[in-house]
Chains A and B, each alone.
Chain A
Amino acid sequence: MSDENKTCGNASNAEPTVTRSAAPMWIIVVTLGLLFTGGLYLDSHGGWFDAKVYAPYHSADQLEAFQPRSGAAAQAAQGKRVYEAVCGICHGMDGAGKPGQAPPLAGSEWVTTKGVNRLVHIPLQGLSGTLVVEGKEWNLNMAAMGVALPDSDLAAVLTYLRTSWGNKAGEVTADDVKKIRDALGGHPQPANSEQLKAMPE
Chain B
Amino acid sequence: MKTGFSVFLAAFLAFGASWYGLVYGPLQQLGGAQQTVVLQSADNWPPQRTGEATLGLQVYRKYGCAACHTEQVRQTGAANELALTSLGVQKAADFKDFMKSVMIVPALLNASNTIIGNLDKWNGDLPVTLYSGDDSIVVSTLADKLKPVGVKTEALVVARGADIARGWGTRQSVAADYLYDEPVPLGNLRAGPDLTTIGVREPDPNWQWQHLYAPRSVVPDSTMPAFRFLFEVRKKIGGQSAPDALALKPEFAPAADLEVVPKAEARQLVAYLMSLKANAPLYEAPFTPVTAAKK
Which A residues are closer than 8 A to B by beta carbons? 18, 49, 51-54, 56-57, 63, 65-70, 73-74, 77, 80-81, 84
Any chain A CB within 8 A of the CB of B157? Answer: yes
Any chain A CB within 8 A of the CB of B70? Answer: no
CB of A63 within 8 A of CB of B42, answer no
Distance between Cα atoms of A23 and B187 in the complex (Å): 46
Given contacts A49-B25, A51-B175, contact A66 B136 (CB under 8 A): yes
Any chain A CB within 8 A of the CB of B232? Answer: no
CB of A65 within 8 A of CB of B40, answer no
CB of B286 within 8 A of CB of A63, answer yes
CB of A68 within 8 A of CB of B281, answer yes
B residues 169-223 near A (Cβ < 8 Å) are 172, 174-175
CB of A52 within 8 A of CB of B78, answer no
How many A-B pairs have beta carbons closer than 8 Å: the answer is 61
Choice from B3, B76, B77, B284 contacting A63 with Cβ under 8 Å: B284
| A-B residue pairs, 7 tightest by C-beta | A68-B288, A52-B284, A68-B157, A74-B40, A80-B42, A65-B136, A51-B29
Any chain A CB within 8 A of the CB of B5? Answer: no
B17 vs chain A, min Cβ distance (A): 14
Q: Which residues of A contact B37 (CB under 8 A)?
A: 81
CB of A70 within 8 A of CB of B155, answer yes
Distance between Cα atoms of A146 and B36 in the complex (Å): 25
A58 vs chain B, min Cβ distance (A): 11
Any chain A CB within 8 A of the CB of B87? Answer: no
Choice from B2, B33, B156, B284 contacting A68 with Cβ under 8 Å: B156
Q: Which residues of B contact A80 (CB under 8 A)?
A: 42
Choice from A49, A53, A56, A84 contacting B42 with Cβ under 8 Å: A84
Given contacts A18-B3, A63-B284, A77-B42, contact A69 B155 (CB under 8 A): yes
Q: Which residues of A contact B30 (CB under 8 A)?
A: 51
Given contacts A67-B283, A73-B40, A80-B42, contact A56 B155 (CB under 8 A): no
CB of B78 within 8 A of CB of A77, answer no
Q: Which residues of A contact B257 (CB under 8 A)?
A: none
Which B residues are closer than 8 A to A by beta carbons? 2-3, 25, 29-30, 33, 37, 39-42, 75-78, 80, 134-136, 154-157, 172, 174-175, 281, 283-288, 291
Q: Which residues of B contact A66 (CB under 8 A)?
A: 78, 80, 136, 157, 286
CB of A77 within 8 A of CB of B41, answer yes
Q: Which residues of B contact A81 (CB under 8 A)?
A: 37, 42
B160 vs chain A, min Cβ distance (A): 9
Distance between Cα atoms of A80 and B281 in the complex (Å): 18
Q: Which residues of B contact A69 (CB under 8 A)?
A: 155
CB of B288 within 8 A of CB of A70, answer yes
A36 vs chain B, min Cβ distance (A): 20
Measured CB to CB, the nearest residue on chain A to B38 is A77
Distance between Cα atoms of A70 and B39 in the complex (Å): 11
CB of B78 within 8 A of CB of A56, answer yes
CB of A57 within 8 A of CB of B155, answer no
B198 vs chain A, min Cβ distance (A): 22
Distance between Cα atoms of A53 and B39 in the complex (Å): 16
Most buried by B among A51, A54, A63: A51
Q: Which residues of B contact A73 (CB under 8 A)?
A: 40, 291
A198 vs chain B, min Cβ distance (A): 36
Choice from B42, B157, B291 contacting A67 with Cβ under 8 Å: B157
Distance between Cα atoms of A80 and B40 in the complex (Å): 10
B227 vs chain A, min Cβ distance (A): 34
Measured CB to CB, the nearest residue on chain A to B76 is A56
Given contacts A49-B25, A77-B41, A81-B42, contact A68 B287 (CB under 8 A): yes
CB of A68 within 8 A of CB of B42, answer no
Q: Which residues of A contact B281 (CB under 8 A)?
A: 68
CB of B78 within 8 A of CB of A68, answer no
Q: Which residues of B contact A56 (CB under 8 A)?
A: 75-78
Distance between Cα atoms of A81 and B284 in the complex (Å): 19
Measured CB to CB, the nearest residue on chain B to A65 is B136
B97 vs chain A, min Cβ distance (A): 27
